[in-house]
Each structure stands twice: as C-alpha cells, then as structure tokens.
Amino acid sequence: MDLEELAKRIAEHQRRGVAMKKLTLEYPDLTVEHAYRIQALTVEGHLAAGDRLVGWKMGLTSRAKQVSVGVEEPIYGRLLGSMELREPRLSVSGLVHPRVEPELAFVMKERLGSKAVTPRDVWNATECVIPAVEFIDSRYENFSFTLVDVVADNASSSKFYLGDQGFSPYDARWDEVGVVMRKNGAVVQTGAGAAVLGHPVRSVVMLTQMLSREDLVLEPGMVVLTGGITEAIPVTAGDVVQIAFDGLGALELRIS
Ligand code: 0L1
Ligand code: MG
C-alpha cells in the first residue's frame, strides 16, 4: 500500500470537509505504525502548504472513549496553527460533523523529551495551564472508525480555542477541577479533570513517552491538549456552548 497516497487522500478530505470511507475497509492490514506514518505525512503536506506545528493533542484519554473504540491506550495527534480559533466562534462550514469537548491545555516553557519523564518534569517544563475547548471532527462517514483509521486522521483534530486566562500549574488541583457544559442553556455534560487518565499531567507524561519513541519532543511554546474531560457533544450552526471550569471561569462559544 502507498502510505503517501493515503496521506494525500486524508489531507484532501480534511481540507474540503467531506466525509470519506474508512481506510481499513480498503486496507484491512494497515497497522497503528502505518497510521502514525500516514498522520505525519498528512501533516507534512499541510506544513508544505504554509501551515505550522503549534502543539499536540491527546485523544481517547477517558475510559469511556477507549471502550467505544476498543483500545487500552490513548492516541496522539498534531495541532496546526490553522486549527487555533482566535475568538470563541466556530463556523461549521467546511467541517463534516463537529463535536465539542472541554479540555485543559498545558503550554510548555521548556523542551521535554524523554522516555523516563515524570510528572515533576512536566511541572518544571510547564509555563501555564489554560481552560480550553477542542472541536473534534472525524473525516469518516458516521463518525465511525477503528483505532488505525482515527490515528491516520490526526486523532480527529479540527479546531481548538484557548481561554484568555492562563494559570500557574500550582494554582489548582487539576484532577479535581469540575466542569459543567451547557448547550443552548441546558446542561449536556459534567465531569472533572480526573477523567483524563486520572490526572491531566499524566496525559503530558504519556504524550512525551509516546513521542520519544519516534524521537519527537515537546518544544517551548507548544500547546498540549490533554484530552476531553467529558464526552464530546455534536454542534450545529446557531448553538451556543458554555463551559464552566470550577474556580477558573467560563468559556462561551458561538457556533455559526
Ligand atoms: O480528542 C479526542 O479524544 C478524540 C480522539 C479521537 C476519537 C474521537 O474522534 O472521538
Ligand atoms: Mg480532545
């Protein structure tokens, strides 16, 4: 199989926001290693077209999501400058079937890359933690995929928004931060930071370990989306989503 051709196919569907069939229907022998290679090639294509790598995301960090895809481990994806929303507004035009999930973003101040990384190393290397939102959007029909498919599709990365206020890593018990998500005024999800691998810092530890297998590192200034604190909720034009992070303020996002 031609991984470069598959990467071009996915990149095209990401660019146009049009659903596609799962790669594994056509290529059942694709492995997770192939999928990460396809992800990297896809992103190289976007970088060659002028985009830039601004960070990383962890996905499938909650037990519920792992069970739904039938896996035991999280996955990672690459964040590009074009994915970052400057204002809390999302246009669904050009997206396939977007969903929203609350996250905690870590912003790095030091380079971090080691298989033996610990939570203490992560705290030392972290500039701040920011309440954030990720809009995921699978390019696969019906938001249905295998582990291999979703890794190849950059872990369903689409858009993200970071709140205005950053916090010192030592300002909160990040595992105990409660979150309430409302859509059009009605509570649709609740959760706590502990939904992310027990503690969001564990997500950065695991990401660093996974990247170091590929000789990749977190660079200063990079953003890490640590994983959804609740289930992701579908959004359509006209929706207003409010996410309250206990003690840290709220984000309000308008969908058009
Ligand atoms: O951010 C995420 O947890 C998404 C990972 C991919 C699975 C999905 O699209 O739900
Ligand atoms: Mg996410």
The pLDDT tens digits for 37-71 are: 999 999 999 999 999 999 999 999 998 889 888 88
Does the predicted TM-score (pTM) go above 0.95? yes
Residue with the smallest CA separation from ligand 1 atom 5 is 59
- Rounded to the nearest whole angstrom, what is the distance from the C-alpha of residue 115 to the centroid of ligand 2? 23
**240 in a structural domain:** yes
- Rounded to the nearest whole angstrom, what is the distance from the C-alpha of residue 60 to the centroid of ligand 1? 6
124 pLDDT exceeds 90? yes
Domain carrying residue 81: 53-142+156-255
- Rounded to the nearest whole angstrom, what is the distance from the C-alpha of residue 150 to the centroid of ligand 1? 8
Instruction: Provide the domain count of the chain.
Output: 1
Residue with the smallest CA separation from ligand 1 atom 1 is 59
What's the pLDDT score for residue 73? 87
**13 in a structural domain:** no
Provide the CATH number for the domain around residue 108. 3.90.850.10
251 pLDDT exceeds 90? yes
**21 in a structural domain:** no
Residue 178: both structure tokens together: 């409660």
**9 in a structural domain:** no
**8 in a structural domain:** no
What's the pLDDT score for residue 68? 81
CB 203 within 8 A of CB 218: no
